Amino acid sequence: MTDPATLAAWDQRYLWHPFTQMADWLAEEPLVIAEAEGCTLVDTRGRHYLDGVSSLWCNVHGHRHPALDAALRDQLARVAHSTLLGLANVPSIELARALIEIAPRGLTRVFYSDAGATAVEAALRLALQYHQLRGEPARTRFASLVEAYHGDTLGAVGVGYSETFHRFVAGAVAPAVRLTPPHVFRWQRGLDAEAAL
């Protein structure tokens, strides 16, 4: 492995970190992760950290889970990726069937996405297409909750609303109807909890 100091220098020279103030990031030595096991991250200097956010919710079963790693190795030995655009593939068919068997009644098909934000984009498109096909072309607006976060693609930012993520792209996203979320800790003075919700 490349030595920790060189990796830190390369990180600061070549990477742009998401949702990170780069001026702050560049002011300190970066924390560089080299490996992980279960819920523990290990940096390039051998220090251990609790991965309290499951690497941004992607590793909810922990890092290097034996059953998941074995399934990945088994699949990689056959094919790493095959598009569903004009083709089908064995694992996507088998997983879709298994998901539908445990899904609530009425859900009959699976649409795969590779991340939360792209899943939101697909849902937006499906909703728009649904109303177009029903002869309701004017139904093109979405409602969103203030301080909601659904991802960092333009569509996902548009149906979420957090000033942190929205301010730099506000003119590029479709306007949504903004709703204040029910939140018992933010009720107006004088309202009881039930009225606030």
Could you read off the pLDDT of 137-168 as tens digits, one per residue? Answer: 999 999 998 888 888 899 999 998 888 778 88
Q: Is the pLDDT of residue 83 over 90?
A: yes
Which of 27, 42, 66 is a domain's end point?
Answer: 66
Is residue 195's pLDDT more than 70?
Answer: no
The CATH number linked to 27 is 3.90.1150.10
Nearest to 161 by CA among 172, 150, 135: 150
At 9, the amino acid letter reads A
Is 37 a domain residue?
yes
Mean pLDDT of the chain: 91
Q: Which domain does 47 fall in, by range? A: 4-66
The three-class DSSP label of residue 30 is coil
Asked if the structure places residue 95 within a domain, the reply is no
Q: Which amino acid is at 18?
A: P
In-domain check, residue 117:
no
Among residues 66, 99, 118, which one ends one of the domains? 66
Question: How much of the chain, in percent, has pLDDT values that exceed 70?
Answer: 92
Residue 142 lies in a domain: yes
Span 97-102, average pLDDT: 98
Main-chain dihedrals φ then ψ at residue 179, nearest 5 degrees: -120, 140
Residue 57 pLDDT: 82
Number of domains within the chain: 2
Q: Which of 66, 83, 114 is the last residue of a domain?
A: 66
Q: If you average pLDDT over residues 112-139, what whole number do you get?
A: 95
Residue 78 lies in a domain: no
